[in-house]
Chain A
Amino acid sequence: MKVLVPIAKVPDTTSKISFVENNTKFNTDGVTFIMNPTDEWYALTRAIELKETGKATEVIVMSVGGADYEPIIRKALAIGADRAVRVDAEPVDAFFVATQIAEYVKNENIELVITGKETIDYNSFQVGGMVAELLDWPAFALVNKLELNGKTATVTREIEGGTETAEASLPLVICATKDLAQARIPNMKGIMSAKTKPLQVLPPKQVETRTRVISYALPEKSKQVKLVSPDNIAELIRLLHEEAKVI
Protein backbone atom coordinates (compact mmCIF):
# COMPACT_ATOMS: atom_id res chain seq x y z
CA MET A 1 0.00 0.00 0.00
CA LYS A 2 1.57 3.26 -1.15
CA VAL A 3 1.12 6.47 0.85
CA LEU A 4 1.43 9.92 -0.69
CA VAL A 5 2.24 12.98 1.41
CA PRO A 6 1.80 16.31 -0.41
CA ILE A 7 4.15 18.90 1.06
CA ALA A 8 3.95 22.67 0.77
CA LYS A 9 6.62 25.35 1.09
CA VAL A 10 5.77 28.24 3.40
CA PRO A 11 7.51 31.22 5.03
CA ASP A 12 9.11 30.39 8.38
CA THR A 13 6.76 31.03 11.33
CA THR A 14 8.75 34.07 12.50
CA SER A 15 8.85 35.78 9.08
CA LYS A 16 8.10 39.44 8.82
CA ILE A 17 5.14 39.79 6.51
CA SER A 18 5.18 42.59 3.94
CA PHE A 19 4.11 43.15 0.35
CA VAL A 20 5.53 44.70 -2.80
CA GLU A 21 4.37 45.84 -6.24
CA ASN A 22 1.57 47.97 -4.91
CA ASN A 23 0.52 45.34 -2.37
CA THR A 24 -0.05 42.65 -4.97
CA LYS A 25 2.89 40.37 -4.14
CA PHE A 26 4.29 38.83 -0.97
CA ASN A 27 7.75 40.22 -0.27
CA THR A 28 10.08 37.24 -0.12
CA ASP A 29 13.12 39.41 0.62
CA GLY A 30 14.97 37.96 3.60
CA VAL A 31 12.28 35.33 4.17
CA THR A 32 13.36 31.76 4.95
CA PHE A 33 11.10 29.04 3.61
CA ILE A 34 10.29 25.82 5.40
CA MET A 35 8.11 22.77 4.95
CA ASN A 36 4.58 23.53 6.19
CA PRO A 37 4.74 22.48 9.88
CA THR A 38 1.77 20.10 9.94
CA ASP A 39 2.97 18.44 6.73
CA GLU A 40 6.36 17.75 8.26
CA TRP A 41 5.52 17.05 11.87
CA TYR A 42 2.36 15.01 11.48
CA ALA A 43 1.47 13.96 7.91
CA LEU A 44 4.92 12.84 6.87
CA THR A 45 5.91 11.23 10.15
CA ARG A 46 2.65 9.29 10.43
CA ALA A 47 3.21 7.97 6.91
CA ILE A 48 6.74 6.90 7.88
CA GLU A 49 5.43 5.20 11.03
CA LEU A 50 2.91 3.30 8.91
CA LYS A 51 5.74 2.01 6.76
CA GLU A 52 7.87 1.10 9.77
CA THR A 53 5.02 -0.93 11.23
CA GLY A 54 4.48 -2.78 7.97
CA LYS A 55 1.14 -1.13 7.17
CA ALA A 56 2.49 0.77 4.18
CA THR A 57 4.98 -0.28 1.55
CA GLU A 58 6.22 3.04 0.30
CA VAL A 59 6.09 6.71 1.35
CA ILE A 60 6.15 9.20 -1.53
CA VAL A 61 6.29 12.96 -1.00
CA MET A 62 4.93 15.28 -3.65
CA SER A 63 5.16 19.01 -4.25
CA VAL A 64 3.67 21.21 -6.89
CA GLY A 65 6.21 23.98 -7.27
CA GLY A 66 9.39 25.23 -8.88
CA ALA A 67 12.97 24.14 -8.27
CA ASP A 68 12.88 26.30 -5.12
CA TYR A 69 10.88 23.46 -3.50
CA GLU A 70 13.83 21.08 -3.64
CA PRO A 71 15.29 21.93 -0.21
CA ILE A 72 12.05 21.01 1.54
CA ILE A 73 11.69 17.90 -0.62
CA ARG A 74 15.23 16.81 0.33
CA LYS A 75 14.39 17.42 3.96
CA ALA A 76 11.33 15.17 3.69
CA LEU A 77 13.53 12.48 2.14
CA ALA A 78 16.02 12.95 4.96
CA ILE A 79 13.28 12.49 7.54
CA GLY A 80 12.42 9.19 5.90
CA ALA A 81 10.27 9.37 2.75
CA ASP A 82 11.34 6.81 0.13
CA ARG A 83 11.09 8.97 -2.95
CA ALA A 84 9.73 12.24 -4.20
CA VAL A 85 7.96 13.78 -7.12
CA ARG A 86 7.74 17.42 -8.06
CA VAL A 87 5.32 18.82 -10.59
CA ASP A 88 7.28 21.64 -12.11
CA ALA A 89 4.86 24.60 -12.04
CA GLU A 90 3.89 27.59 -9.95
CA PRO A 91 1.10 26.47 -7.59
CA VAL A 92 -1.32 29.12 -8.90
CA ASP A 93 -4.34 28.04 -6.87
CA ALA A 94 -5.48 25.08 -4.80
CA PHE A 95 -7.53 23.55 -7.60
CA PHE A 96 -4.45 23.49 -9.79
CA VAL A 97 -2.40 21.83 -7.05
CA ALA A 98 -5.14 19.31 -6.24
CA THR A 99 -5.53 18.38 -9.91
CA GLN A 100 -1.82 17.54 -10.20
CA ILE A 101 -1.94 15.45 -7.03
CA ALA A 102 -5.10 13.57 -8.05
CA GLU A 103 -3.58 12.78 -11.47
CA TYR A 104 -0.48 11.33 -9.90
CA VAL A 105 -2.46 9.31 -7.37
CA LYS A 106 -4.49 7.69 -10.16
CA ASN A 107 -1.42 6.80 -12.20
CA GLU A 108 0.50 5.34 -9.28
CA ASN A 109 -2.25 3.32 -7.56
CA ILE A 110 -1.80 5.18 -4.34
CA GLU A 111 -4.35 4.23 -1.67
CA LEU A 112 -3.73 6.74 1.09
CA VAL A 113 -3.04 10.47 0.84
CA ILE A 114 -2.07 12.32 4.02
CA THR A 115 -1.96 16.10 3.68
CA GLY A 116 -1.21 18.68 6.34
CA LYS A 117 -3.92 20.75 7.96
CA GLU A 118 -3.58 24.06 6.17
CA THR A 119 -0.60 26.00 4.99
CA ILE A 120 0.47 28.70 7.41
CA ASP A 121 0.62 31.33 4.64
CA TYR A 122 -2.82 31.21 3.02
CA ASN A 123 -4.54 29.19 5.77
CA SER A 124 -6.89 27.81 3.21
CA PHE A 125 -7.40 24.15 4.04
CA GLN A 126 -8.54 23.11 0.63
CA VAL A 127 -6.08 20.89 -1.22
CA GLY A 128 -6.97 17.73 0.75
CA GLY A 129 -10.73 18.08 0.25
CA MET A 130 -10.28 18.86 -3.44
CA VAL A 131 -8.07 15.83 -4.00
CA ALA A 132 -10.67 13.64 -2.27
CA GLU A 133 -13.48 14.99 -4.43
CA LEU A 134 -11.46 14.68 -7.65
CA LEU A 135 -10.85 11.02 -6.81
CA ASP A 136 -14.34 10.48 -5.33
CA TRP A 137 -12.77 9.11 -2.12
CA PRO A 138 -13.88 9.45 1.48
CA ALA A 139 -11.85 11.86 3.57
CA PHE A 140 -11.32 13.06 7.12
CA ALA A 141 -9.99 16.44 8.18
CA LEU A 142 -8.23 17.55 11.38
CA VAL A 143 -7.22 13.98 12.12
CA ASN A 144 -5.14 13.43 15.25
CA LYS A 145 -5.20 9.62 15.28
CA LEU A 146 -5.02 7.17 12.40
CA GLU A 147 -4.86 3.38 12.69
CA LEU A 148 -4.92 0.95 9.79
CA ASN A 149 -6.23 -2.55 10.00
CA GLY A 150 -5.98 -4.14 6.58
CA LYS A 151 -8.03 -1.85 4.36
CA THR A 152 -9.93 -0.28 7.22
CA ALA A 153 -8.84 3.05 8.65
CA THR A 154 -9.99 4.16 12.09
CA VAL A 155 -9.53 7.87 12.69
CA THR A 156 -10.11 10.38 15.43
CA ARG A 157 -10.75 13.93 14.30
CA GLU A 158 -11.32 17.27 16.00
CA ILE A 159 -14.89 18.51 16.21
CA GLU A 160 -16.39 21.43 18.15
CA GLY A 161 -15.55 20.78 21.79
CA GLY A 162 -14.18 17.29 21.44
CA THR A 163 -13.28 14.53 19.06
CA GLU A 164 -15.10 12.03 16.87
CA THR A 165 -13.98 8.53 16.05
CA ALA A 166 -15.06 6.98 12.75
CA GLU A 167 -14.05 4.41 10.19
CA ALA A 168 -13.73 4.22 6.43
CA SER A 169 -12.11 1.90 3.92
CA LEU A 170 -9.12 2.71 1.78
CA PRO A 171 -8.59 4.49 -0.56
CA LEU A 172 -8.79 7.56 1.60
CA VAL A 173 -7.60 11.16 2.11
CA ILE A 174 -6.53 12.31 5.57
CA CYS A 175 -5.76 15.93 6.55
CA ALA A 176 -3.48 15.73 9.55
CA THR A 177 -3.42 17.94 12.60
CA LYS A 178 -1.29 18.05 15.74
CA ASP A 179 -0.66 14.84 17.67
CA LEU A 180 -1.11 12.53 14.68
CA ALA A 181 2.53 11.50 15.06
CA GLN A 182 5.72 12.32 16.90
CA ALA A 183 7.75 14.88 14.95
CA ARG A 184 11.27 13.82 13.95
CA ILE A 185 14.50 15.59 13.18
CA PRO A 186 16.54 14.24 10.26
CA ASN A 187 19.69 12.41 11.37
CA MET A 188 23.04 12.24 9.58
CA LYS A 189 22.25 8.93 7.91
CA GLY A 190 18.94 10.30 6.66
CA ILE A 191 20.56 13.44 5.30
CA MET A 192 23.20 11.40 3.45
CA SER A 193 20.72 8.95 1.96
CA ALA A 194 18.35 11.75 0.92
CA LYS A 195 20.92 12.87 -1.63
CA THR A 196 20.55 9.66 -3.59
CA LYS A 197 16.84 8.99 -3.20
CA PRO A 198 14.83 9.43 -6.42
CA LEU A 199 13.24 12.81 -7.13
CA GLN A 200 11.15 12.73 -10.28
CA VAL A 201 10.17 15.99 -12.01
CA LEU A 202 6.93 15.96 -13.99
CA PRO A 203 5.26 18.51 -16.26
CA PRO A 204 1.93 19.93 -15.05
CA LYS A 205 -1.48 19.16 -16.40
CA GLN A 206 -3.06 22.42 -17.55
CA VAL A 207 -6.19 23.64 -15.78
CA GLU A 208 -7.86 27.02 -15.69
CA THR A 209 -7.32 29.31 -12.73
CA ARG A 210 -10.37 29.64 -10.52
CA THR A 211 -9.33 32.06 -7.84
CA ARG A 212 -6.60 34.62 -7.43
CA VAL A 213 -5.45 37.15 -4.89
CA ILE A 214 -5.70 40.68 -6.27
CA SER A 215 -4.28 42.57 -3.31
CA TYR A 216 -2.93 42.27 0.21
CA ALA A 217 -3.13 44.52 3.23
CA LEU A 218 -1.47 44.66 6.62
CA PRO A 219 -3.56 45.30 9.73
CA GLU A 220 -4.36 49.03 9.98
CA LYS A 221 -2.11 49.97 12.86
CA SER A 222 -0.64 48.19 15.79
CA LYS A 223 -2.85 48.50 18.82
CA GLN A 224 -2.16 50.95 21.61
CA VAL A 225 -2.48 49.06 24.85
CA LYS A 226 -4.32 50.73 27.72
CA LEU A 227 -2.62 49.80 30.99
CA VAL A 228 -4.63 49.36 34.15
CA SER A 229 -3.03 49.32 37.59
CA PRO A 230 -3.01 45.93 39.35
CA ASP A 231 -4.45 47.76 42.36
CA ASN A 232 -7.49 48.87 40.43
CA ILE A 233 -8.93 45.75 38.83
CA ALA A 234 -12.43 47.17 39.04
CA GLU A 235 -11.34 49.67 36.40
CA LEU A 236 -10.50 46.85 34.00
CA ILE A 237 -13.97 45.39 34.48
CA ARG A 238 -15.50 48.80 33.88
CA LEU A 239 -13.51 49.29 30.65
CA LEU A 240 -14.44 45.86 29.35
CA HIS A 241 -18.08 46.56 30.09
CA GLU A 242 -18.48 50.19 29.13
CA GLU A 243 -15.77 50.88 26.59
CA ALA A 244 -15.04 47.58 24.85
CA LYS A 245 -18.56 46.25 25.49
CA VAL A 246 -17.42 42.63 25.58
CA ILE A 247 -18.82 41.69 28.99
Chain B
Amino acid sequence: MAVLTFVEVADAKVKKASLEAAAYGSKIAETNGVESIAVVLGEAGIEELASLGKVGVNRVLHASDARFNTFDSKAFAKAVSEAAQKVNASIVVLSFNQNGKLLGPRLAVRLGAGYVPGASEVPVTENGTLKVKKNVFSGKASAIYEVTTPIKVIALSPNSYPVAKKEAVASVEAFIPTLSDNDFSVRFISVEKVQGSIPLTEADIVVSGGRGLKGPENWWMIEDLAKEMGAATACSRAVADVDWRPHHEHVGQTGITVRPNLYIAVGISGAIQHLAGVNQSKVIVVINNDPEAPFFKAADYGIVGDAFEVMPKLIEEYRKFKAAH
Protein backbone atom coordinates (compact mmCIF):
# COMPACT_ATOMS: atom_id res chain seq x y z
CA MET B 1 0.00 0.00 0.00
CA ALA B 2 1.18 3.48 -0.81
CA VAL B 3 0.09 6.90 -1.96
CA LEU B 4 1.57 7.76 -5.33
CA THR B 5 1.76 11.40 -6.48
CA PHE B 6 2.40 12.37 -10.07
CA VAL B 7 4.85 15.28 -10.02
CA GLU B 8 5.68 17.53 -12.98
CA VAL B 9 8.97 19.27 -13.50
CA ALA B 10 9.27 22.32 -15.77
CA ASP B 11 12.39 24.41 -16.41
CA ALA B 12 14.35 22.12 -14.04
CA LYS B 13 12.00 22.85 -11.11
CA VAL B 14 9.07 21.00 -9.61
CA LYS B 15 5.93 22.90 -10.64
CA LYS B 16 4.28 24.79 -7.79
CA ALA B 17 1.01 22.92 -8.31
CA SER B 18 2.86 19.57 -8.20
CA LEU B 19 4.65 20.51 -5.00
CA GLU B 20 1.26 21.12 -3.42
CA ALA B 21 0.06 17.76 -4.72
CA ALA B 22 3.15 16.03 -3.31
CA ALA B 23 2.64 17.67 0.10
CA TYR B 24 -1.03 16.67 -0.01
CA GLY B 25 -0.25 13.10 -1.09
CA SER B 26 2.30 12.84 1.71
CA LYS B 27 -0.26 14.05 4.23
CA ILE B 28 -2.71 11.35 3.09
CA ALA B 29 0.07 8.76 3.28
CA GLU B 30 0.97 9.86 6.80
CA THR B 31 -2.63 9.70 8.03
CA ASN B 32 -2.98 6.21 6.59
CA GLY B 33 0.43 5.08 7.83
CA VAL B 34 1.74 4.21 4.36
CA GLU B 35 4.62 5.32 2.18
CA SER B 36 4.48 8.54 0.13
CA ILE B 37 5.96 7.94 -3.30
CA ALA B 38 6.27 10.38 -6.18
CA VAL B 39 6.61 9.55 -9.86
CA VAL B 40 8.39 11.96 -12.19
CA LEU B 41 8.48 11.51 -15.97
CA GLY B 42 11.12 13.19 -18.15
CA GLU B 43 14.59 14.48 -17.56
CA ALA B 44 15.15 16.27 -14.24
CA GLY B 45 17.95 17.02 -11.78
CA ILE B 46 18.43 14.51 -8.97
CA GLU B 47 18.77 17.23 -6.33
CA GLU B 48 15.49 18.84 -7.28
CA LEU B 49 13.79 15.44 -7.06
CA ALA B 50 15.41 14.58 -3.73
CA SER B 51 14.11 17.89 -2.38
CA LEU B 52 10.58 16.46 -2.59
CA GLY B 53 11.55 14.95 0.77
CA LYS B 54 10.95 18.39 2.23
CA VAL B 55 7.23 18.05 1.68
CA GLY B 56 7.13 14.49 2.98
CA VAL B 57 7.85 12.30 -0.04
CA ASN B 58 9.81 9.16 0.93
CA ARG B 59 10.76 7.85 -2.49
CA VAL B 60 10.81 9.20 -6.02
CA LEU B 61 10.43 6.96 -9.06
CA HIS B 62 12.15 8.77 -11.89
CA ALA B 63 11.71 7.86 -15.55
CA SER B 64 14.57 9.89 -16.98
CA ASP B 65 13.51 9.51 -20.58
CA ALA B 66 13.55 12.45 -23.01
CA ARG B 67 10.37 11.20 -24.68
CA PHE B 68 8.55 12.37 -21.55
CA ASN B 69 9.94 15.90 -21.70
CA THR B 70 6.76 17.07 -23.39
CA PHE B 71 3.27 16.08 -22.35
CA ASP B 72 1.43 13.22 -24.06
CA SER B 73 -1.63 12.27 -22.00
CA LYS B 74 -1.88 8.76 -23.41
CA ALA B 75 1.76 7.82 -22.83
CA PHE B 76 1.78 9.53 -19.43
CA ALA B 77 -1.34 7.64 -18.34
CA LYS B 78 0.34 4.35 -19.25
CA ALA B 79 3.55 5.19 -17.41
CA VAL B 80 1.90 6.54 -14.25
CA SER B 81 -0.49 3.56 -14.06
CA GLU B 82 2.46 1.25 -14.35
CA ALA B 83 4.14 3.07 -11.47
CA ALA B 84 0.92 2.84 -9.45
CA GLN B 85 0.76 -0.91 -9.99
CA LYS B 86 4.44 -1.34 -9.25
CA VAL B 87 4.16 0.30 -5.82
CA ASN B 88 0.69 -1.10 -5.16
CA ALA B 89 -0.79 2.38 -4.73
CA SER B 90 -4.28 2.58 -3.30
CA ILE B 91 -4.48 6.34 -3.81
CA VAL B 92 -3.01 8.24 -6.76
CA VAL B 93 -2.73 12.01 -6.40
CA LEU B 94 -2.03 14.66 -9.03
CA SER B 95 -2.66 18.36 -9.50
CA PHE B 96 -5.89 19.52 -11.10
CA ASN B 97 -3.78 21.75 -13.35
CA GLN B 98 -3.74 21.95 -17.15
CA ASN B 99 -2.09 18.55 -17.70
CA GLY B 100 -3.74 16.94 -14.69
CA LYS B 101 -7.19 17.70 -16.04
CA LEU B 102 -6.56 15.25 -18.85
CA LEU B 103 -4.27 12.81 -17.10
CA GLY B 104 -6.52 12.35 -14.05
CA PRO B 105 -9.53 10.90 -15.88
CA ARG B 106 -7.27 8.76 -18.09
CA LEU B 107 -5.57 7.30 -15.02
CA ALA B 108 -8.91 6.62 -13.41
CA VAL B 109 -10.04 4.59 -16.43
CA ARG B 110 -6.75 2.70 -16.67
CA LEU B 111 -6.74 1.85 -12.99
CA GLY B 112 -10.47 1.10 -12.76
CA ALA B 113 -10.53 3.82 -10.13
CA GLY B 114 -13.11 6.30 -8.90
CA TYR B 115 -11.91 9.84 -9.57
CA VAL B 116 -12.35 13.11 -7.70
CA PRO B 117 -11.43 16.10 -9.87
CA GLY B 118 -10.52 19.28 -8.01
CA ALA B 119 -10.45 18.16 -4.37
CA SER B 120 -9.98 21.05 -1.95
CA GLU B 121 -9.33 19.29 1.36
CA VAL B 122 -7.56 16.26 2.78
CA PRO B 123 -9.80 13.20 2.35
CA VAL B 124 -11.16 11.01 5.12
CA THR B 125 -10.70 7.29 4.57
CA GLU B 126 -12.66 4.67 6.44
CA ASN B 127 -12.97 0.95 5.66
CA GLY B 128 -11.78 1.48 2.12
CA THR B 129 -14.26 4.28 1.44
CA LEU B 130 -12.86 7.71 0.75
CA LYS B 131 -14.71 10.97 1.27
CA VAL B 132 -13.36 14.27 0.07
CA LYS B 133 -14.59 17.81 -0.40
CA LYS B 134 -14.64 19.56 -3.74
CA ASN B 135 -15.99 22.89 -4.93
CA VAL B 136 -18.97 22.73 -7.26
CA PHE B 137 -21.16 25.21 -9.13
CA SER B 138 -18.08 27.31 -9.89
CA GLY B 139 -17.29 27.87 -6.24
CA LYS B 140 -20.85 28.74 -5.23
CA ALA B 141 -21.09 25.52 -3.19
CA SER B 142 -19.08 22.51 -2.13
CA ALA B 143 -19.84 18.80 -2.22
CA ILE B 144 -18.57 15.70 -0.47
CA TYR B 145 -17.64 13.01 -2.96
CA GLU B 146 -17.58 9.38 -1.94
CA VAL B 147 -15.39 6.85 -3.72
CA THR B 148 -15.63 3.14 -2.98
CA THR B 149 -13.41 1.58 -5.66
CA PRO B 150 -10.26 -0.16 -4.34
CA ILE B 151 -8.01 2.38 -6.07
CA LYS B 152 -8.82 6.09 -5.96
CA VAL B 153 -7.48 8.94 -8.05
CA ILE B 154 -7.61 12.47 -6.59
CA ALA B 155 -6.74 15.64 -8.47
CA LEU B 156 -5.97 18.46 -6.02
CA SER B 157 -7.22 21.91 -6.87
CA PRO B 158 -4.24 24.31 -7.17
CA ASN B 159 -3.69 26.81 -4.31
CA SER B 160 -5.83 24.85 -1.87
CA TYR B 161 -3.24 22.99 0.17
CA PRO B 162 -0.51 24.88 2.01
CA VAL B 163 3.01 23.54 1.56
CA ALA B 164 4.97 23.13 4.80
CA LYS B 165 8.63 22.20 4.49
CA LYS B 166 10.90 20.24 6.79
CA GLU B 167 14.48 19.08 6.44
CA ALA B 168 14.41 15.71 4.70
CA VAL B 169 15.49 14.19 1.42
CA ALA B 170 13.68 11.64 -0.67
CA SER B 171 15.51 8.72 -2.19
CA VAL B 172 15.46 8.74 -5.97
CA GLU B 173 15.35 5.53 -7.96
CA ALA B 174 15.22 4.84 -11.69
CA PHE B 175 11.89 3.77 -13.11
CA ILE B 176 11.67 2.36 -16.61
CA PRO B 177 8.09 2.07 -17.81
CA THR B 178 7.56 -0.47 -20.55
CA LEU B 179 6.52 1.91 -23.30
CA SER B 180 7.38 1.59 -26.94
CA ASP B 181 7.61 4.48 -29.41
CA ASN B 182 4.12 3.55 -30.60
CA ASP B 183 2.70 4.57 -27.26
CA PHE B 184 3.63 8.18 -27.97
CA SER B 185 1.18 9.93 -30.22
CA VAL B 186 1.75 13.66 -29.70
CA ARG B 187 4.33 15.61 -31.68
CA PHE B 188 5.38 18.68 -29.78
CA ILE B 189 5.87 21.82 -31.91
CA SER B 190 6.37 24.86 -29.71
CA VAL B 191 5.60 26.74 -26.53
CA GLU B 192 4.55 30.36 -26.59
CA LYS B 193 4.99 31.93 -23.16
CA VAL B 194 3.23 35.15 -22.35
CA GLN B 195 6.27 37.37 -22.03
CA GLY B 196 7.52 38.73 -18.76
CA SER B 197 4.46 38.00 -16.68
CA ILE B 198 3.56 35.56 -13.95
CA PRO B 199 1.24 32.72 -14.96
CA LEU B 200 -2.24 33.67 -13.84
CA THR B 201 -3.12 30.26 -12.43
CA GLU B 202 0.08 30.08 -10.41
CA ALA B 203 0.13 33.61 -9.01
CA ASP B 204 -0.18 34.33 -5.29
CA ILE B 205 -1.50 37.80 -6.02
CA VAL B 206 -3.69 38.85 -8.94
CA VAL B 207 -4.50 42.45 -9.88
CA SER B 208 -7.52 42.62 -12.16
CA GLY B 209 -9.23 45.41 -14.06
CA GLY B 210 -12.70 45.91 -15.55
CA ARG B 211 -14.64 48.30 -17.67
CA GLY B 212 -14.38 50.95 -14.95
CA LEU B 213 -10.84 51.65 -16.17
CA LYS B 214 -12.35 53.25 -19.29
CA GLY B 215 -9.79 52.09 -21.83
CA PRO B 216 -6.62 50.05 -22.48
CA GLU B 217 -4.47 53.19 -22.20
CA ASN B 218 -5.21 53.21 -18.47
CA TRP B 219 -3.94 49.71 -17.81
CA TRP B 220 -0.64 51.01 -16.53
CA MET B 221 -2.39 51.31 -13.15
CA ILE B 222 -3.01 47.58 -13.09
CA GLU B 223 0.38 46.70 -14.54
CA ASP B 224 2.39 48.98 -12.27
CA LEU B 225 0.74 47.69 -9.13
CA ALA B 226 1.13 44.08 -10.33
CA LYS B 227 4.79 44.67 -11.03
CA GLU B 228 5.40 46.15 -7.58
CA MET B 229 3.58 43.26 -5.92
CA GLY B 230 4.99 40.49 -8.09
CA ALA B 231 1.40 39.78 -9.15
CA ALA B 232 -0.24 38.50 -12.29
CA THR B 233 -2.73 40.66 -14.19
CA ALA B 234 -6.27 39.66 -15.11
CA CYS B 235 -9.46 41.25 -16.42
CA SER B 236 -13.21 40.85 -16.73
CA ARG B 237 -14.75 39.32 -19.79
CA ALA B 238 -16.32 42.63 -20.80
CA VAL B 239 -12.82 44.04 -21.18
CA ALA B 240 -11.47 41.09 -23.15
CA ASP B 241 -14.52 41.14 -25.42
CA VAL B 242 -13.73 44.67 -26.58
CA ASP B 243 -10.04 43.77 -26.98
CA TRP B 244 -8.72 46.09 -24.31
CA ARG B 245 -6.94 43.05 -22.95
CA PRO B 246 -6.05 39.63 -24.37
CA HIS B 247 -8.57 36.83 -23.81
CA HIS B 248 -6.11 34.66 -21.90
CA GLU B 249 -6.43 37.18 -19.04
CA HIS B 250 -10.18 36.89 -18.70
CA VAL B 251 -11.25 35.24 -15.46
CA GLY B 252 -14.66 33.91 -14.55
CA GLN B 253 -17.08 31.14 -15.23
CA THR B 254 -16.27 31.10 -18.94
CA GLY B 255 -12.63 32.10 -18.50
CA ILE B 256 -9.88 31.12 -16.14
CA THR B 257 -10.51 30.19 -12.53
CA VAL B 258 -8.00 31.66 -10.10
CA ARG B 259 -7.58 31.12 -6.38
CA PRO B 260 -4.73 33.36 -5.28
CA ASN B 261 -4.07 34.53 -1.74
CA LEU B 262 -5.01 38.05 -2.78
CA TYR B 263 -7.28 39.21 -5.60
CA ILE B 264 -7.52 42.94 -6.20
CA ALA B 265 -10.44 43.95 -8.43
CA VAL B 266 -10.42 47.45 -9.87
CA GLY B 267 -13.44 48.85 -11.72
CA ILE B 268 -15.16 45.45 -11.95
CA SER B 269 -18.84 45.28 -11.03
CA GLY B 270 -18.74 41.72 -9.70
CA ALA B 271 -21.21 39.98 -11.99
CA ILE B 272 -22.05 36.46 -10.85
CA GLN B 273 -20.11 34.95 -13.78
CA HIS B 274 -17.02 36.93 -12.86
CA LEU B 275 -17.27 35.97 -9.19
CA ALA B 276 -17.46 32.30 -10.13
CA GLY B 277 -13.87 32.47 -11.32
CA VAL B 278 -12.44 34.37 -8.35
CA ASN B 279 -14.55 33.60 -5.29
CA GLN B 280 -12.15 30.96 -4.06
CA SER B 281 -9.43 33.56 -3.56
CA LYS B 282 -8.32 33.80 0.06
CA VAL B 283 -8.68 37.58 0.34
CA ILE B 284 -10.50 39.88 -2.07
CA VAL B 285 -10.00 43.65 -2.27
CA VAL B 286 -12.48 45.66 -4.34
CA ILE B 287 -11.93 49.18 -5.61
CA ASN B 288 -15.05 50.65 -7.19
CA ASN B 289 -16.65 54.10 -7.21
CA ASP B 290 -20.14 52.67 -6.84
CA PRO B 291 -20.88 51.63 -3.24
CA GLU B 292 -23.70 49.45 -4.58
CA ALA B 293 -21.41 47.40 -6.83
CA PRO B 294 -22.22 43.72 -6.15
CA PHE B 295 -18.52 42.88 -5.83
CA PHE B 296 -18.44 44.50 -2.37
CA LYS B 297 -20.65 41.66 -1.09
CA ALA B 298 -17.95 39.16 -2.00
CA ALA B 299 -15.04 41.29 -0.77
CA ASP B 300 -12.97 41.22 2.40
CA TYR B 301 -11.73 44.78 2.02
CA GLY B 302 -13.13 47.56 -0.09
CA ILE B 303 -12.43 51.09 -1.13
CA VAL B 304 -15.33 53.12 -2.47
CA GLY B 305 -13.53 55.55 -4.72
CA ASP B 306 -12.39 56.55 -8.16
CA ALA B 307 -9.77 54.13 -9.46
CA PHE B 308 -7.96 56.99 -11.15
CA GLU B 309 -7.33 58.57 -7.76
CA VAL B 310 -6.98 55.44 -5.64
CA MET B 311 -4.62 53.43 -7.82
CA PRO B 312 -1.70 55.90 -8.02
CA LYS B 313 -1.91 56.29 -4.24
CA LEU B 314 -2.07 52.53 -3.72
CA ILE B 315 1.00 51.99 -5.90
CA GLU B 316 2.82 54.70 -3.97
CA GLU B 317 1.86 53.28 -0.56
CA TYR B 318 2.82 49.77 -1.58
CA ARG B 319 6.23 51.02 -2.67
CA LYS B 320 6.71 52.58 0.76
CA PHE B 321 5.60 49.35 2.44
CA LYS B 322 8.01 47.29 0.34
CA ALA B 323 10.90 49.61 1.14
CA ALA B 324 10.19 49.29 4.86
CA HIS B 325 9.83 45.45 4.89
Q: Which of A12-20, A45-53, A72-80, A190-198 contacts B (4 or more CB under 8 A)?
A: A12-20
Q: B residues 130-174 with Cβ under 8 Å of A? A: 131, 135-138, 140-149
Sort chain B's interface into a size bin: 35 or more
Set B99, B113, B313: member contacting A233, Cβ < 8 A: B313
- Determine how close the nearest CB of chain A comes to the CB of B169; give it in whole angstroms: 26
A52-67: which have CB < 8 Å to B? none
Partner of B201 from A94, A138, A160 at Cβ < 8 Å: A160
Q: In angstroms, how far is the closest chain B Cβ from the Cβ of A127?
A: 7
Contact assessment for A158 and B248 in the assembled complex, using a CB-CB cutoff below 8 Å: yes
Which residues of chain B from 104 to 145 have any CB-CB distance to chain A below 8 Å in the complex?
104-106, 108-110, 113-118, 131, 135-138, 140-145
Chain A binding surface, main DSSP class: mixed
By the criterion CB–CB under 8 Å, are B141 and A19 in contact? yes
Q: How far is the CB of A6 from chain B (nearest CB, A)?
A: 13
| A228 and B114 contact, CB distance less than 8 A | no
Contacts of A11 in B (CB 8 A): 137
B interface SS class: mixed
Q: Please encode chain B, from 36 to 79, with 1 for each CB lying within 8 Å of some chain A CB and 0 for all others.
A: 00000000000000000000000000000000001111100100
Residues of chain B within 8 A (CB-CB) of A122 are: 136, 143
Q: List 30 A-B contacts (CB under 8 A).
A: A13-B272, A13-B273, A17-B140, A122-B136, A124-B117, A126-B108, A126-B115, A138-B72, A139-B73, A139-B74, A140-B73, A159-B98, A160-B17, A160-B97, A160-B201, A164-B70, A165-B190, A166-B70, A178-B250, A178-B254, A211-B114, A214-B144, A215-B144, A219-B142, A225-B296, A227-B301, A228-B303, A241-B321, A244-B301, A246-B205
- Give Cα A162 to B276, complex, Å: 22
**Are A123 and B304 in contact, CB atoms less than 8 angstroms apart?**
no
A239 to B299, CA, bound (A): 14
Determine whether the beta carbon of A13 is less than 8 Å from that of B253.
yes
B115 near A167 with CB under 8 A, answer no
Q: How far is the CA of A241 from the CA of B205 in the complex (A)?
A: 13
Q: Provide the bound-state CA to CA distance between A247 and B229, in Å.
A: 8
CB within 8 Å for A210 and B147 given contacts A227-B304, A246-B205, A247-B262: yes
A142:B98 contact, CB within 8 angstroms: yes
Closest 5 CB pairs of A and B: A161-B199, A129-B105, A230-B305, A133-B109, A210-B114
What is the 8 Å Cβ interface bit string for chain A, positions 151-174, against chain B (1 contact, 0 not)? 000100111111111111100000
Which residue of chain A has the shortest Cβ distance to B106 in the bound complex? A133
